[in-house]
A and B are shown apart, each in its own frame.
Chain A
């Protein structure tokens, strides 16, 4: 699904990301871990063509991301609050995204219906603009918006941060379902090692812009990660 080739990003002379080769097959739930400044958000921004690579490129479903825009219809993401439109209510925001992704109001409503539990009654019909919601609730709205329009690739940066425990557990279930039953490729980054190991089939560990571990998740993964970061 996603193929990274000789990808690097430099700011002035400092290289913040350098990935020789990375392939993410369709339907994989892919986790990215690393300390601050490891290059996680840079990688995601490159995946969304928000910044230009210094060398190399990313190919998503045979489309070179920095050359064509055809990856947009099947890719969606929630990186941070700059993906929210603060002056809209949650519903208006969902419908707007729906319209951009060729989804009718009924389609969006049907999708939102399936997230009733996840919203926990705090998102819809709140008579509040998104900018007035709490950080956690903003995040919920942003994450669900990323699921609108049947995307094949979903990118979530730090989805678990700011969420309450109940929502974290529900989100884990949702991500697993997406990858397993719907064949969606989900890319997740997190500082919480136990969350990623629970959710992701595969974990890549970045350090100073380089891939230092690339492993399929098993019982010892969490321990391995903890040992790595403890050093």
Chain B
């Protein structure tokens, strides 16, 4: 039976809509996957020596063990975000004479074969091999390796148990940030305590039985959970939440735009996919931390400009590139109604602008890094409002990929809204601000670069209606193509 299942699985994979897209995407995806694999491999191979060099007085394995708590917390957070138990797949098997146990075991086993299981392996395997070559006791290293593997798999099953509960996710995220903050300001170092815990898996080789037990326990919990809900009216049923009707009448002040704005706001807060985008754009706010905290980038202000665009542009970039795909599910309705494209576009534009402004306000703590950085963020925000918004909308208009609103997108399983045109359009969004900043910076000085960036944004605002009508033209011309493309999948 398992063999039959596996062949179905292969068909589902090779016949899925996204896989049949152009070869260019496949290559890009392969590159992205390769990139991650290579970086984890490199991390696995070299981290031992790097740590040895950086802190010669400490055992590299102990250092790694200290930080494992963050590794696993982040791992769980990402899994929560991206990985759902594929419960719906049971439905076709319910009436077929196969033992339920078989189906459930299969389904659970299948979830372990995922990107999230393999990626850590690319780190742990080479790292363990390095440990062996460095004269660590083989049996302990192997025990440690399996402990890590079992922990990783336990997270996989833990994720499905907590997956339906958003509160858990936010708690997790807060714990993560709290620990990171406490450590950063030197108040309390969780890594010490966690390090003691994880070190035990090396020093006491039989300790691997703990994560193994945990794994078995979690697997059984998942199994019994699915066993109980193997009925149409339970897990297999799509979840329906009670609708909360909202008037949003405060948006009426926008006159002709109001109906669209109200709709867009509801779209964002009521669908899984768009909520994901919302969270992503929140995470973009922290993008600056990567760049501003490192001295190498201090001397490369062009990269700082690049980072600044992301801090305030998270929502703009992630949401904007999927206009009009957000409305793909009911595009035929919109097209047969008396809808001026202009108002439709302006509503989306306004949302993006508001998001940039909100992100800018939220980015105030970056003042900590000094006025120069903050000025950069401000200039970046202006560029986002005045130019990036239009570039993104223009790119979206060429992007005719339907979006399933209430389905979470998966890591690498979902290439919706990802195509070569999109990549081309992304170029000016990223490289544009860097150039606009860099040239006057090189010729005159830092402030000149800032002013140039800010001015380019303001200039874009002046030409707002020109840009909007250009984008409108693209919509008009592509109308039938867009309808056909959005209609395809169903």
Contact = CB atoms under 8 A, between A and B. Distances in A.
Interface of A: 48-52, 69, 72-73, 75-77, 79, 82-89, 91-92, 96-97, 99-101, 126-129, 131-132
B266 A88 contact: yes
5 smallest beta-carbon distances between A and B, as pairs: A99-B259, A72-B338, A132-B240, A87-B270, A83-B333
B472 to A, nearest CB: 13
A85 B333 contact: yes
Interface in B249-293: 258-259, 262-263, 266-267, 270-271
Nearest to A100: B337
A83 B330 contact: yes
Contacts of A73: 338
A48 B245 contact: no
- Interface magnitude class on chain B: 20 to 34
A82 B330 contact: yes
A82 B329 contact: yes
Given A86-B406, A99-B258, 5 more contacts: A49-B335, A49-B336, A51-B483, A83-B333, A126-B243
A100 B330 contact: no
5 contacts: A51-B484, A83-B336, A99-B259, A128-B243, A129-B240
B336 A127 contact: no
A163 B406 CA distance: 26
A50 B333 contact: no
B15 interface: no
A141 B344 CA distance: 24
A49 B332 CA distance: 10
B405 interface: yes
A128 B240 CA distance: 8
Interface in B330-375: 330-333, 335-339
Contacts of B487: 82
A97 B406 contact: no
Contacts of B259: 96, 99-100
B275 to A, nearest CB: 11
Contacts of A129: 240, 243, 270
B243 A89 contact: yes
A96 B490 CA distance: 24
Given A87-B267, A89-B245, A129-B270, A100 B339 contact: yes
A87 B338 contact: no
Contacts, number: 85
B406 A87 contact: yes
B457 to A, nearest CB: 32
A28 B221 CA distance: 63
Contact of B480 (A51, A83, A87): A51
A127 B243 contact: yes
Nearest to A125: B245
B337 A101 contact: yes
Contacts of B333: 82-85
A115 B123 CA distance: 64
A197 B65 CA distance: 78
Contacts of B484: 51
A101 B338 CA distance: 7
A44 to B, nearest CB: 10
Interface in B462-485: 480, 483-484
B264 to A, nearest CB: 11
B172 to A, nearest CB: 27
Contacts of B233: none
B9 to A, nearest CB: 28
B336 A50 contact: yes
Contacts of B245: 89, 91-92, 127
B336 A87 contact: no
A88 B266 CA distance: 7
Contacts of A50: 332, 335-336, 480, 483
A87 B271 contact: yes
A51 B336 CA distance: 11
